Structure 1
Amino acid sequence: METLGVVVNPIAGMGGRVGLKGTDGKLEEARERGATSRAPDRAREALRTFHERKPNCTVYTATGVLGEYAARDVGIEPNVVSDPAAVRNGDPARPDDPAEAETTADDTRRAVRAFLEHEVDLVLFVGGDGTAVDVAEVLEDEDESSTDDGDPTPMLGVPAGVKVYSSVFAVTPADAGRVAAEFDRIESREVNDIDEAAYRDGEVRAELRAIVPVPVAPALQSSKQLASGSVDSLAAGFAREVDPDRIYVFGPGSTVGTIEEELGIDPSPLGVDVWQAGPSPDDPVSSGDFLARDADEERLLEVLDGPATIVVSPIGGQGFVFGRGNHQISPAVIERADGLEVVASAEKLDGLDSLRVDTDDDAVDEDLRGWIKVRTGRFTTRLVKVV
């Protein structure tokens, strides 16, 4: 590969830790809640890995936080071929704080069209499913979206959004950089998007938006599995063993939601809830106290003032324990808690070769890696490696 187009959505994923489950139509609210931008750091990680392997590759990008800054930060001298500031007679792509960037989907689309005019070999984007849709629509619509041999231009995602349900993303930013530098063939993959309004109400509505060519590598995202088998016995076993006076942080998903229901909690299916077991050793469930529903990172840190266990289930086909759909459980929250319980049906684990973490904190990720006991039923557990 000789040429690469890079575009960054600087606001992708900002709604995660503040409990908004996305930024579509919620950007100002995310900012008011103190959200910060995570996409630029992820872009730098991907581009650093890419540049180490392809130092002589020609990189095209858009101005400022849309890609230029990230490229320069890792030693790449990019060709800036798209400048939304010039189009809007302003300077929205060059703020001091990327979280304050007034960028739009049109900026992403305009950048991708510019990449196609320069016949790039691959479009690397940083964002979530919404950004993937923007890139895919341009690649499908533009007559210029083909390489010299007539093949369609492939795309590859660096995961940075709250929603990552498409199968066009690499597992981690570093994996994206490696795949972009070393791929030798492509394969058709799905671009899916989620209705964020329904998602915030606890309903997952996935819509197939495009079929696109993507570099093939084992580390690519597999299609998400949005449902799991019955976990009634698992929930009953968990409820039987709750520890009096301990605080429990329940992550999103139907498996953990079944446990909450067993405890008499009305769960927020795609949010993070907090419950404290009651002081009675004989009946800690009935005497328990529901502390927070659909909590953001700030609220979680407020209520975790004692012994605490985080309860999560692997999310999606890749088996992410942290870093997909549960950004509210941030590195600070993980470090505040002194216990972790991973739960999953045996059927779900059968489809996974390992579990994964991606918290945006290398030290926390490293601490979480290794063999972990996963509860699979009322009395059964299984050892699974976190990588």
Structure 2
Amino acid sequence: MSVFHLGLIINPLAGLGGPAGLKGSDGVAAEALARGAEPRAAERTRVALELLLPLRDRLAFLTFPGPMGGDLLAEMGFSHRLLGELQGAQTRAEDTRNAVQALQAEGVALLLFAGGDGTARDVCAVAREGQAVLGIPAGVKIQSGVYAVSPRAAGELTRRLVEGGLVRLGNAEVRDIDETALRAGRIAARWYGELSVPQESGFVQQVKQGGVESEELVLSEIAAWLEDSWQQDVRYVFGPGSTLHGLAQNLGLQTTLLGVDVIENGRVLALDVTEAQLFELVEGQQAMLLVTAIGGQGHILGRGNQQVSPRVVRAIGLDNLRVVATKRKLATLDGRPLLVDSGEAALDDSFADVARVWAGYKEELLYPLSTL
């Protein structure tokens, strides 16, 4: 039986800035840790690799030591060989680039990496043309099209490859946002190149649409509906994004474009909250969670709104979650479902097959929802 050689790179700092309300993790890992953020990249990688456990006799991993992959593979019982060594207590972008070069020199059939757009940039900077790679989403902002739609989707797609399934390989864009501009409320995305990625419909995400969509008429209609139906003493959580920011503006409220804000009785109760602050505000309280879909991708949880953690969602209740999206925005999905990637498989599995979408004045749609 032939052995399938997989490379694995985990950026252990990926995603730290999301729950801490820092809009990203580049250069702020220490601050995020000080705010109580916990590393999540290894656990998201574990979710992907769990689908490969039945095939571990056919797999041979190559990876870097410690938190970059060695620890997790040893814990899960996968056969693996360590390459290189870490240069410090915390990993750096240079470690990722060195790992990519070492792994592809060994001729891995597929290089799995866990992180966000910053990690994808580092991979793209040194990956050879044609080297097959696949991202396991673990970052805060994921604009690039080189990531699976969820960790489980990454595992499923890899499983298909190992079992000899026909999986098309194509080029996908690597994009990243300037986090300094992002924290100042400006969106400035840049193209960094392309990577060769296994491409199967429904498994690999689309590149996020750039720009700020403006559909003032529709948002003003939804605002009028919401203003007519505010529930007294209910805390409304507004997720990030131009759609909900525009909705708030139509309600005469000053919210943050890229943060998570809380409204109560028609007034701003808290701005740009962290995950811990948000949980404290909604635990034991009546609350409503409003999120929007990322244009062209469809994610409603797990992309740029990690402050809305699994415990926050449970405290609010799935019945109190609504998606706010115009019909034009839904049309950019080309029939693909809305996506949930909360970071906890049990919670993802508890979502219904459809989401309730506010799309106009007293206009609520049902739209397909998937967790894969």
Q: With structure 2 as the length reference, what TM-score do the two structures score? A: 0.90
Deviations 1:76-128 (A, max 9, x none): 121111211xxx3x6x3xxxxxxxxx110111111111112211122110000
Selected match of 1:295 from 242, 259, 273 = 273
Query: What is the CA distance between 1:54 and its match in structure 2?
Result: 5.9
Query: What is the CA distance between 1:51 and its match in structure 2?
Result: 4.0
Letter in 1 for 2:104: L
| Coordinate RMSD, CA, aligned | 1.7
Distance (Å, rounded) in 2 between the aligned partners of 1:247 and 1:368: 22
1:176 aligns with 2:157: no
Query: What is the CA distance between 1:291 and its match in structure 2?
Result: 1.2
| Equivalent in the alignment of 1:131 | 119
- Note if contact 1:239-1:262 (Cα within 8 Å) is conserved in structure 2: no
Letter in 2 for 1:290: V
| Equivalent in the alignment of 1:280 | none
Distance (Å, rounded) in 2 between the aligned partners of 1:117 and 1:371: 45
Cα 1:30–1:40 shift into 2, 3 Å:
same
- Note if contact 1:16-1:162 (Cα within 8 Å) is conserved in structure 2: yes
* Larger Rg computed on CA atoms: 1
Query: What is the CA distance between 1:254 and its match in structure 2?
Result: 1.0
Distance (Å, rounded) in 2 between the aligned partners of 1:261 and 1:229: 12
SS across alignment from 1:243 = coil
Distance (Å, rounded) in 2 between the aligned partners of 1:372 and 1:268: 25
1:80 aligns with 2:61: no
% of aligned pairs identical? 39
- Note if contact 2:253-2:267 (Cα within 8 Å) is conserved in structure 1: no
Query: What is the CA distance between 1:295 and its match in structure 2?
Result: 0.5
Distance (Å, rounded) in 1 between the aligned partners of 2:352 and 2:44: 20
Query: What is the CA distance between 1:11 and its match in structure 2?
Result: 0.8
Query: What is the CA distance between 1:312 and its match in structure 2?
Result: 0.7
Question: Bigger CA drift: 50-59 or 251-260?
Answer: 50-59
1:350 aligns with 2:350: no
Query: What is the CA distance between 1:53 and its match in structure 2?
Result: 4.3
User: Any residues of structure 2 matched to 1:277-296 within 5 Å, and which?
Assistant: 277=265, 288-296=266-274
Distance (Å, rounded) in 1 between the aligned partners of 2:11 and 2:193: 19
User: Any residues of structure 2 matched to 1:1-387 within 5 Å, and which?
Assistant: 2-53=4-55, 55-84=57-86, 88=87, 92=89, 102-139=90-127, 145=128, 152-183=130-161, 184-218=167-201, 219-226=203-210, 227-230=212-215, 231-277=219-265, 288-304=266-282, 305-338=284-317, 339-352=320-333, 353-387=336-370
- Note if contact 1:223-1:316 (Cα within 8 Å) is conserved in structure 2: no
Cα 1:125–1:256 shift into 2, 3 Å:
same
- Note if contact 2:279-2:315 (Cα within 8 Å) is conserved in structure 1: yes
Distance (Å, rounded) in 2 between the aligned partners of 1:23 and 1:335: 25
Question: Bigger CA drift: 349-358 or 111-120?
Answer: 349-358
Distance (Å, rounded) in 2 between the aligned partners of 1:118 and 1:314: 40
Distance (Å, rounded) in 2 between the aligned partners of 1:24 and 1:371: 35
- Note if contact 2:59-2:79 (Cα within 8 Å) is conserved in structure 1: no
Letter in 2 for 1:369: A
- Note if contact 2:7-2:63 (Cα within 8 Å) is conserved in structure 1: yes
Gaps of 5+ in 2: 162-166
- Note if contact 2:295-2:330 (Cα within 8 Å) is conserved in structure 1: no
Cα 1:289–1:78 shift into 2, 3 Å:
same
Query: What is the CA distance between 1:385 and its match in structure 2?
Result: 2.4
Deviations 1:308-346 (A, max 9, x none): 101111124231111111000111111121422211001
Query: What is the CA distance between 1:229 and its match in structure 2?
Result: 4.7
Distance (Å, rounded) in 1 between the aligned partners of 2:349 and 2:288: 19
SS across alignment from 1:291 = strand
Letter in 1 for 2:58: N
Q: With structure 1 as the length reference, what TM-score do the two structures score? A: 0.87
Deviations 1:207-230 (A, max 9, x none): 000112111111101111244351
Gaps of 5+ in 1: 93-101, 140-144, 147-151, 278-287
Aligned residues: 353
Question: Bigger CA drift: 376-385 or 44-53?
Answer: 44-53
